[in-house]
Structure 1
């Protein structure tokens, strides 16, 4: 007897092939089995999705292609994992195959059954988690840590919002939760997520120190394909008890999953910005509910969505979807840094670093302490310009400027990657005096080196050798191992001043930094994006949290921790809340404004984006899509705003436009999007779709 198998393959939603493709098989393979199937002229990897159906019961004229080899050496992907992929596809308006296959290690697509079986033999069984020396002598918990841990472990599965100030010991709570879980359940697994790759090494080191190397694996895009496959297989087989990873790890196959930790849950990096635009944080919560696992969302500055969903853990019924747990105090009697505002309106024109801030940094260099200077713009200068004719270093392929990188004398577009050598003279008028305008981390590093050429200790003696300034940003950490090397230099005290972008502002446990400075954060105060103030407050509060993390070191130095902010808007309410480290007041004010304006979390949004050869074609497609939606059921409950160009409307010679869709009801928005999909596919084949290269739906967008 032959069987019909419904198989998920990696076809984008725009291929309009449907979610699942049907194939014929001589044997009834169980759902979750990986198979190779023909697709056009290729053979691709697929996942058997539904129970097999005897072909006798199928349509008599159905001609199905046969299934190729089955990778039956690998245990089938579980029902809970398939439910997660199906939910993500449905909610984020993608095909099941696109979600499911993208979540699997790329190397699985190329391995034969024999090769896969050989890799599986290397490590197939989970052993007991060995107690390491550190685990035998863990640090003592504070009263706040003890209370949070007890509340998490006392109840049934649920979602907990752990609101802990920077340096309050959230990571130790994660470690204790994992340790207690693994000790109580020999088959249990824990998933611990961080927003960015650069935070993985230090967290991995802490978990391996506590649980041993064999119990912990990592999953992130910075790993090689063989490394990712080995980690995924260890998680899938249960050999890895703990999986650490970035947003992709939310799809790790973990049959024993009992605990999910999302550290820095507010971070926008948890939202995928290419392909299937899912939120790993939101999927982690959904997965925990589906699999009966506890979920801990940790942050010093929670997202306003999570804050709104949570209620304090008072009594048996906290009254919110999430239980809110507070850890406002730093461990070890440490104090949060004093926030000092420098009104740049009172400084001489073109001042980069105020005199007071220079003195404060210089004093710390003299005492052998470390400072961190934060500027969220990499490169030497954002633009190169000619004063004679007004030429600027525009990218020929994007509606943006190319950034000047002095270290290799290039002009580089940070959107499409187009790079050229810096011209010897102005390409427009021939003026040889073209100059950088503005400032990035490269230029700030150079400027600080000039300013601190001669620093003296408190006793008046000169500091031996030049001031040691290090820069950490996406440019300085491109080479493998560069980030780890630079972080090690900071931790060992080989750096006096650390300059960087947001890469250094969060998650790092720098013990000797006593001063943090934000040089120019004003840009986000008046952004058109309603989430910009929330992101800025989080970034500054996280940056402040890098200072004064070691109370004993501060006491020994006789120093205080400080956060300096240079701004032209010192009276802004955001800075008032920041000076008091009062996230609650900031959140209350922001939520009141959003409620009055009908913005998330009091409304639900999606973006329909179109990329086309011309802006007119992109907007024509969006306008036609809006007109088509008018006749759909429930369209009266969903607002469709006019199509507009993106802020950077042209990237790599492709014009981009978008249309915002909004509703006070998540269900109403989802119903409309589901009905809309076939109409959008059909529009591509009409005159309104001419010139459109691609379109996508972004549900719950983080940036508008």
Structure 2
């Protein structure tokens, strides 16, 4: 007997083959089974899909290709997992096979049945119970939050001050789940890879190494495969991961935790542009699992969902023990001499911390030595030849490096245009900031008389494997007096010795054209402030310093009071008046072409052809415009905003518009993509 199967494979994003393909099998296979199938000259990994997803169950007029093999040792992916993938592909306007295969570990695609069987043996059966660290008694606020979480259903937002012990709430929520259901699984998500090691350490200490696995893009292919198999088989009870972990196959999933749920890193920016936080909420409904979103500065979407009663808000306003939130001090840079980098007041405060043996954190969200190198005699600047952006000067290796396309050159000895040897850095990055601080603090001594120790932590210094862990260990051990870095050091880290946090150049987002910029800035500053004073003994003297040219801005007034609810209320009022998310819904269509004219012409033609399609009368299409960085790697980029007051109407429009976009593509176009619920416009 010959069976016809529907199989999803990773077809190209812009091909017309977005759904399952039909193949022949000598025996029936359950939906969710992993198979190998031929496609063109290649053999690909595919997933058997539900029969109703077939194009035609009748006998085809052409000869179907047979499947090439079955990965027998791996249990089929569940119906709920397939439903999650189907929803993500539909909502974010991507191919079904693209999303399904993106969610599977890459190494799975090249394994034989025998290799699969060997790897499954290593993860077979549930992990034995291991004696873990005994949990400390929860604080009254933690206990109240846990009790409310246990008693309720659906999605919860844990609104807790930095240092209030949200991680302990996550740990105890997982522990209570396992006590009720020993075979249950929990998914715990963090926004960035650098937060995974410290969280993994705490979960392993509580539940044992056999029960906890990680899933993130920083792992090797064999590591990811091992973790995925452990989760898929149920051997791993806790999966820790970044946004990609939302698609982890976990047949016993009963609890999903999304830490720092406001973080933009949960939104994928390439390929399938999905929001892992939003998919986590959807998956919770599918699986009948509780979802716990945690943040000291929640996204306005989640805050509004609580206001409307769709989520349950749990509040923990106090820090653990007697620890206090830091005092916020604003330095009016209008009163400082021109080109002042560190105000004398801030420098004195940092020096006092060093003399007392305390640590300070200084963050500037710009890596490199200087954002641009310029000639003092002519108009030459270190522009990238491939992008409409400047190459950043990195002094440590004397290079000019484009942070968009990666193009790197040695710093020229003289100006390429006029030959002037006096070319100088303009602006300041973390590398130059580190150098400036070393000079300014050269005469400062630690309590034992030793010179000050300054460290820098950004994408450049943590590039090598293991370097992040080494640097974090040095900070925790007190081997660093002043830590300089980008926003990666302001998120989630439990630095016990830091009593002063300073934010430089915080004004850049205040008057941005992006309506989300104030929300991101306030969240970043609040999170940064949360790194100070986490030790109760030192918290009374902890401070957050902000150097600004706009000290009377309402954002800073809310920051001084640590008053997120007031800030959220003001922002939501403005957005409601403007019809912006979460009161309206958006999508961006991005186009890449050989020329800017070609990219915009494609978008204009697609907009003109959209007039007669479903729900077009309920959707607003704006004119095409260049992207903020309009050329990257010699590819011109343009975008067009699509808005609607109805999410359902926007989705119907986008689904009907997709074939139009396919048909509109012309010569010179490289690619196009739809970004639903964009975070940056």
**Partner in structure 2 of residue 7 of structure 1:** 7
The answer to whether structure 1 residue 661 and structure 2 residue 642 are counterparts is yes
Per-residue deviation, residues 656-686 of structure 1 (Å, max 9, x unmatched): 00000000000000000000111111112xx
**Partner in structure 1 of residue 380 of structure 2:** 391
The answer to whether structure 1 residue 16 and structure 2 residue 16 are counterparts is yes
Residue 118 of structure 1 and its aligned partner are, at CA, apart by 0.5
Per-residue deviation, residues 398-421 of structure 1 (Å, max 9, x unmatched): 000000000000000000000000
Question: Counterparts in 2 of 1:288-687, with a 5 A limit?
Answer: 288-311=284-307, 320-456=309-445, 464-554=449-539, 560-684=541-665
Per-residue deviation, residues 497-531 of structure 1 (Å, max 9, x unmatched): 00000000010000000000001111111111000
| Correspondence for 1:177 among 169, 173, 180 | 173
Per-residue deviation, residues 370-391 of structure 1 (Å, max 9, x unmatched): 0000100000000000010021
The DSSP-based 3-state class of the residue aligned with 2:510 is: helix
Following the alignment from structure 2 to structure 1, what is the Cα–Cα distance between the partners of residues 642 and 54? 43
Mapped contact 2:445–2:451 kept (Cα < 8 A) = no
The answer to whether structure 1 residue 270 and structure 2 residue 266 are counterparts is yes
**Partner in structure 1 of residue 155 of structure 2:** 159
**Partner in structure 2 of residue 700 of structure 1:** 677
Residue 130 of structure 1 and its aligned partner are, at CA, apart by 2.2
**Partner in structure 2 of residue 90 of structure 1:** 90
Per-residue deviation, residues 15-44 of structure 1 (Å, max 9, x unmatched): 111311110111101100000000000000
**Partner in structure 1 of residue 110 of structure 2:** 110
**Partner in structure 1 of residue 32 of structure 2:** 32
**Partner in structure 2 of residue 226 of structure 1:** 222
The DSSP-based 3-state class of the residue aligned with 2:214 is: strand
Per-residue deviation, residues 235-272 of structure 1 (Å, max 9, x unmatched): 00000000000000000000000000000000000000
Following the alignment from structure 1 to structure 2, what is the Cα–Cα distance between the partners of residues 245 and 53? 31
Following the alignment from structure 2 to structure 1, what is the Cα–Cα distance between the partners of residues 232 and 423? 57
Following the alignment from structure 1 to structure 2, what is the Cα–Cα distance between the partners of residues 210 and 380? 42
1:324–1:430 CA distance, 2 compared to 1 (3 A): same
| Correspondence for 2:136 among 136, 139, 154 | 139
Residue 425 of structure 1 and its aligned partner are, at CA, apart by 0.5
Residue 654 of structure 1 and its aligned partner are, at CA, apart by 0.2
1:692–1:466 CA distance, 2 compared to 1 (3 A): same
Following the alignment from structure 1 to structure 2, what is the Cα–Cα distance between the partners of residues 60 and 495? 70
| Correspondence for 2:276 among 266, 277, 280 | 280
Following the alignment from structure 2 to structure 1, what is the Cα–Cα distance between the partners of residues 330 and 123? 55
Mapped contact 1:197–1:246 kept (Cα < 8 A) = yes
Residue 129 of structure 1 and its aligned partner are, at CA, apart by 3.4
Mapped contact 2:18–2:97 kept (Cα < 8 A) = no
Mapped contact 1:398–1:415 kept (Cα < 8 A) = yes
Residue 620 of structure 1 and its aligned partner are, at CA, apart by 0.5
Mapped contact 2:128–2:210 kept (Cα < 8 A) = no
Residue 690 of structure 1 and its aligned partner are, at CA, apart by 2.1
Mapped contact 1:5–1:53 kept (Cα < 8 A) = no
Following the alignment from structure 2 to structure 1, what is the Cα–Cα distance between the partners of residues 552 and 142? 35
The DSSP-based 3-state class of the residue aligned with 1:528 is: coil
Deviates more, 1:420-429 or 1:44-53: 44-53
Following the alignment from structure 1 to structure 2, what is the Cα–Cα distance between the partners of residues 553 and 238? 44
Following the alignment from structure 1 to structure 2, what is the Cα–Cα distance between the partners of residues 56 and 540? 56
Mapped contact 1:381–1:440 kept (Cα < 8 A) = yes
- How many corresponding residue pairs? 681
Following the alignment from structure 1 to structure 2, what is the Cα–Cα distance between the partners of residues 421 and 111? 43
Structure 2: any 5+ residue segments left out of the alignment? none
The answer to whether structure 1 residue 196 and structure 2 residue 181 are counterparts is no
Following the alignment from structure 1 to structure 2, what is the Cα–Cα distance between the partners of residues 47 and 676? 27
1:388–1:57 CA distance, 2 compared to 1 (3 A): closer
1:293–1:521 CA distance, 2 compared to 1 (3 A): same
Mapped contact 1:93–1:697 kept (Cα < 8 A) = yes
Following the alignment from structure 1 to structure 2, what is the Cα–Cα distance between the partners of residues 282 and 78? 20
Residue 633 of structure 1 and its aligned partner are, at CA, apart by 1.8
Mapped contact 1:30–1:51 kept (Cα < 8 A) = no
Deviates more, 1:43-52 or 1:257-266: 43-52
Following the alignment from structure 1 to structure 2, what is the Cα–Cα distance between the partners of residues 51 and 662? 35
Q: CA RMSD in A?
A: 1.4
Following the alignment from structure 2 to structure 1, what is the Cα–Cα distance between the partners of residues 668 and 124? 51
Q: TM-score, normalised by structure 1?
A: 0.95
Mapped contact 1:129–1:182 kept (Cα < 8 A) = no
Following the alignment from structure 1 to structure 2, what is the Cα–Cα distance between the partners of residues 210 and 57? 51
Structure 1: any 5+ residue segments left out of the alignment? 312-318
**Partner in structure 1 of residue 119 of structure 2:** 119
Per-residue deviation, residues 270-320 of structure 1 (Å, max 9, x unmatched): 000000000000000000001000000000000000000014xxxxxxx61
Per-residue deviation, residues 349-392 of structure 1 (Å, max 9, x unmatched): 11000000000000000000000001000000000000100210
**Partner in structure 2 of residue 314 of structure 1:** none
Residue 61 of structure 1 and its aligned partner are, at CA, apart by 1.4
